[in-house]
A and B are shown apart, each in its own frame.
Chain A
Amino acid sequence: MADRLTQLQDAIDQLATIFYCALRYVGAHHDFLPTHDEPKVRDESLQPDPPHLFRSSQQELARDLVLKTKQIEVLIASLPGIGVSEDDQKERLKEIGKELEKAEEERKRSIREKEELLLEFDEVIRTLKRV
């Protein structure tokens, strides 16, 4: 999974695509309404959808738009490290670095202790064997 920022960028791009799709759909599939008693205009390049389908498609597109916008808002709200300044981060990094060093040293010491104990134990077993 991509990180939050990439997700956000993708969402923005998708929003732009939805913008385009919505306009294009309305442009390509709308029907004409005659005014007064003129004959209904026809355009061969258009394939009007039946009214109920057109209506539901419109609604779907609108829903997509709103949904994507909401998604973008959620993503913005969940961006990592909001309210933390760069200096805070650097401070924290230094702190963790020191702690890590300390912990690593302790870990090495514990490993050494374990190995020594193992040797000792080995010795005990050896003496047992020779008894």
Chain B
Amino acid sequence: MAEEQDSRRASLFPAPPPFYTHFTPENKDKLKEFQASAAKDSDGDGGNASKKLPAELVCLIPPKPPTDQYHSFGQIWSLPERHPTLKELNIPQLFPEPNNESYNVDRAQELRRLSKSLLLNYLELVGIMGMSPEEYAEKVYHLRIHLINIHELINNYRPHQARETLIAMMEEQLEKTRQETEDNKKACAKIRVLMGSLSSFDAGGLLDTTADSSTTATSSAAADTSDAATAAAAAANSHSGSNGASSGGEERDKSSWEALQQAGLIQ
């Protein structure tokens, strides 16, 4: 039985646990009934309802979430999740415990020291292999410890690098935002300049053309009603508004819009 369970746990796609057959609609209903009656009873005597629960119903109540550690795929995980220290893994630690001050300087120094030591150990291993090859085990063990320590040190460094990367990204974002603000301000200034020049310019150039169109336009009462409200500013010669004139106006509107787009003011 135990072997069977082991093989089930170790297989790549384990079979479902045997109690899955208990999850039937009838059992669910039974559980509900049971809980309802238990709730009634529990007014009288404490909470030993689970003891009276029939075996096939026990599995229907989900277990409490683990608080200390749990097994998953044959491994033990601690809660809250964290990286096990070398000591917990029974591996000698070759670098000093971190002390908050100047930790990072130390870390680079330690890495350098360990890598040198690694090379030296290898040299010794090669020497041993030349003299008495059967004594390799100790040196290989040393090499192994060194490699593990280096990796551990590097992995401890990762949060530091993550923060560093975050800082770099935020600085980049800041730069981008400021650039965009700057561009927007420049565009606004350009528009202002253009508007200033237009107000002094339109009286001469554009009024001439409208005068032209107003002579061709016959009076039209229908157009007045729609335009009169908004055209107060231009009321001086506002008996235009016939189809011909307004289409001419649209053309001008369009061309000035294009001119603006060319100037890069409107995106």
A: residues with CB less than 8 A from B are: 3-5, 8-9, 12, 15-16, 19, 22-23, 27, 65, 69, 72-73, 76-77, 79-87, 89-90, 92-93, 96-97, 99-100, 103-104, 106-107, 110-111, 113-114, 117-118, 120-121, 124-131
Residues of A within 8 A of B181 (CB): 103, 106-107, 110
B178 touches A103 (CB 8 A): yes
Residues of A within 8 A of B71 (CB): none
Chain B 116-145, CB-CB to A under 8 Å as 1, else 0, gives 001100100110010000000000000100
Chain B 138-157, CB-CB to A under 8 Å as 1, else 0, gives 00000100010011001101
Chain B's closest residue to A107 (CB) is B181
**Complex alpha-carbon distance, A120 and B246, angstroms:** 21
Q: How far is the CB of B248 from chain A (nearest CB, A)?
A: 9
Q: How far is the CB of B196 from chain A (nearest CB, A)?
A: 11
A12 touches B266 (CB 8 A): no
B104 touches A131 (CB 8 A): no
A124 touches B198 (CB 8 A): yes
A76 touches B112 (CB 8 A): yes
**Complex alpha-carbon distance, A79 and B150, angstroms:** 14
B206 touches A93 (CB 8 A): no
Residues of B within 8 A of A92 (CB): 167
Chain A's closest residue to B147 (CB) is A16
Residues of B within 8 A of A80 (CB): 161, 164-165, 168
Residues of A within 8 A of B129 (CB): 23, 27
B249 touches A93 (CB 8 A): no
Q: How many chain-B residues does the 8 Å CB contact rule pick out?
A: 72
The one of B104, B118, B158 that contacts A5, using a Cβ cutoff of 8 Å: B158
Residues of A within 8 A of B257 (CB): 125
A82 touches B184 (CB 8 A): no
B interface majority secondary structure: helix
A93 touches B210 (CB 8 A): no
B: residues with CB less than 8 A from A are: 100-105, 108, 111-112, 115, 118-119, 122, 125-126, 129, 143, 147, 150-151, 154-155, 157-158, 160-161, 163-168, 170-171, 173-174, 177-178, 180-181, 184-185, 187-188, 191-192, 194-195, 198-199, 202, 206-207, 210, 227, 230-231, 233-234, 237-238, 240-241, 246, 249-250, 252-253, 256-257, 260, 266
Q: How far is the CB of A72 from chain B (nearest CB, A)?
A: 5
Residues of B within 8 A of A100 (CB): 170, 173-174, 177
B198 touches A86 (CB 8 A): no
